[in-house]
Amino acid sequence: MNNTRKPLLFITWLFLLGAIVEMTWLHALQPLENRLSDFFIRQQAQQLQPDPEIVIVDIDDSSLARMQDVAGSWPWPRAVHGELVRGIDQQHPRAIVFDILFSERDQYRPDSDHLFNEALAVDSKIYFPMVRREPMLDASGAPVSQVARMLGLQPTAQADPLARLAILPPLAVDPRYWRVGTINFKEDSDGVGRRYPLYTPAYGWRIPSLPARVAVDLGYAVPVQDDLPLAWRGKAGAYQHISYADLYQDFSREHAQRKQNELSGKIVIIGATATGMHDARVTPMASLYPGVEILATALDSLKNQRSMRTAPLWFAPLATLLLLALLGAAFWYGMHALKTGWILLALTLLMLNASYMASARLWLLPVLLPLMLAWGYYVICALQAYLRERKSREQAVQQFSRFVNPHVVQELIAHGGLSRGGESRQISVLFSDIRGFTTLSEKRTPQQVVDLLNRYFTLQVEVVFRHGGALDKFIGDCIMAFWGAPLDDPEHARHAVAAALEMGEVLQQFKRELGEEDADFDVGIGIHSGPAVVGLIGSEQRREYTAIGDTVNLASRIEGLTKGVSRILVSRDTMALCGDTFRFESVGSFAVKGREQEVELFAPKNKEKS
């Protein structure tokens, strides 16, 4: 396996493990998933209208102020509510649902409680809330056997007849009129309430909630489940609200001013939105959503068989697996990270839009977790690919700085590096071999010979680099260089010949440094231009950037023919590519090993020296 793919496999397995831990145990991203779903639900709900047959008689701030002279401060005498019930009953509503607790009798106004109970003897179905207290208080609660029938408790096969329950029923109401259900509203772990309990299990008994009790009595189907994910409709205040004071005062008039049938056939909820009542909860719709509207939403959902449904448990794991597999394949097969990012962005928008559209059809699609894991995976893989590419480029700089002018290396890196495989290029190849090296080395110690060669090679390589050439290698006391790669150079022949001429001049300066005793020190330079295969060639452990082919072989042969003929010799192909930049003198045709026809060679001269 390619070593560059091992980190990718490690990252992939790491993210798969992280996804499993998150989905099965940690759930750290669930609050963010919930917030996204809440946003979609809120946007969809604002386009909908709630059920017009659910009406809220609202104890609002205005009612508290206007009822001051009639009923005094809150809590009002229950007889006031009794008068309101009589007035509503005359319009024949489907149900009257109180969202006000009557858990204590009025010790100071018992007559008012009595009048209230007398008013409950009407034809309309009237419902009252109760509260399921903390289970730790059950030991001091009422025996189930005594209250089960009155509270509408439903036994299961595991029902414990000896159990006790801590419940706050409407003690101010005569038990004859108890149509009750709980109004406990529980938030999710992130503090947001998204569902309404239908039944609260306790010791094998099922305690009905107020919406469930009303729905059963009115003939609406109630799902066999503990709670109901609410399907919200409209903004806060979207349900029809009638001010409690307006309705109460109209019932007191000799000639009513309001429509006499405005509550006919309606489910009337009597509750409070007044600021001082503090009956507000955190919901997907708002941070302070009136409790009476939450109750109305629960009744709306049951009446119209609307509730949010969650996607199957396999949806999020499958979406995560598919996204990670797609990204992993893209990086595995070397797709550019930027292109991969654009594809992931498109998929992100597509999945978010799908989740938004699904919320309109009452489906909750958990897309945030798969997308966050996918983006995290993408960022890590892209960073790893970048670091790998950066390391590769740094290695290329280090490697090519030995062969090519550093400025050329930087330009090469800026243009995306070099091909890892070979490629055919038109180049000019130069071989420069020292003459008289044996004699020179006999007069010096090995260390002096090495120092001398290093000095000579340094001077000549500087010339090669100065003219844009690439140093291929040192072969003993021979230099091999070429032009036209790794960067394209249309003038490769001219640059090679110019470099050869300057190498001759540098040689003369070097010989003057050596002195008269090394007058035999000289070089032969051969140049040929043509096609060659250029690239990184070698084993997996060691590769060199070099050129191979007939062009290279012929350049080497030409260098070997310089002795006794000319310090610099070039082929006709090289001469033709130089145009009129230099003056060339033909030195004749020569037989070359490996070629049937003789090769005509030329000695280049600078024009200004003619």
String of DSSP letters for 273-339: --GGG--EE--SS-SSEEHHHHHHHHHHHHHTT-B-EEPPTTHHHHHHHHHHHHHHHHHHTT--HHH
User: Is 569 a domain residue?
Assistant: yes
The set of residues, in sequence order, having a beta carbon less than 8 Å from that of 44 and lying 6+ positions away, is: 356, 359, 360
**Residue 165 placed within a domain:** yes
pLDDT of residue 444: 82
Domain extent at residue 493: 419-609
Are 567 and 443 contained in the same domain?
yes
Residue 408, pLDDT score? 56
Q: How many domains does the chain have?
A: 3
State mean pLDDT over 380-401: 77
Last residue of a domain, one of 281, 303, 325: 303
Q: Are 296 and 281 in contact (CB under 8 A)?
A: no
Q: Are residues 155 and 279 in the same domain?
A: yes
Contacts for 428 with CB less than 8 Å, ≥ 6 apart: 482, 483, 484, 492, 493, 495, 496, 497, 527, 528, 529, 574, 577
Is residue 43 one of the residues assigned to a domain? no
Beta-bridge mates of residue 55? 240, 268
- Sorting pLDDT into bands at 50, 70 and 90, what band is 422? confident
Q: What pLDDT was estimated at residue 219?
A: 96
Q: Give residue-wise pLDDT tens across range 212-230.
A: 999 999 999 999 899 999 9
Residue 73 lies in a domain: yes
Q: Inform me whether the pLDDT recorded for 530 exceeds 90.
A: yes
Average pLDDT estimate for 576-580: 94
The pLDDT of residue 409 is: 63
Whether residues 24 and 75 share a domain: the answer is no
- Cβ–Cβ under 8 Å, residues 179 and 112: no
CA distance 11 to 377: 8
Confidence check: pLDDT of 457 > 50: yes
Please check whether residues 204 and 284 belong to one and the same domain. yes
| Boundary-marking domain end, from 277, 303, 329 | 303
Confidence category of residue 610, pLDDT binned at 50, 70, 90: very low
Summarised one tens digit per residue, pLDDT across range 88-113 is 999 999 999 999 999 999 999 999 99
One domain for residues 138 and 228: yes
Mark whether 507 and 596 lie in a shared domain: yes
* 405 within some domain: no
Q: Tell me, yes or no, whether 234 and 298 share the same domain.
A: yes
Residues 331 and 225 grouped into a single domain: no
In a domain, 118, yes or no: yes
Mean pLDDT calculated for residue range 504-531 = 86
Q: Which residues pair with 202 in a beta bridge?
A: 205
Each residue's pLDDT tens digit, 246-280: 999 999 998 889 999 999 999 999 999 999 898 99
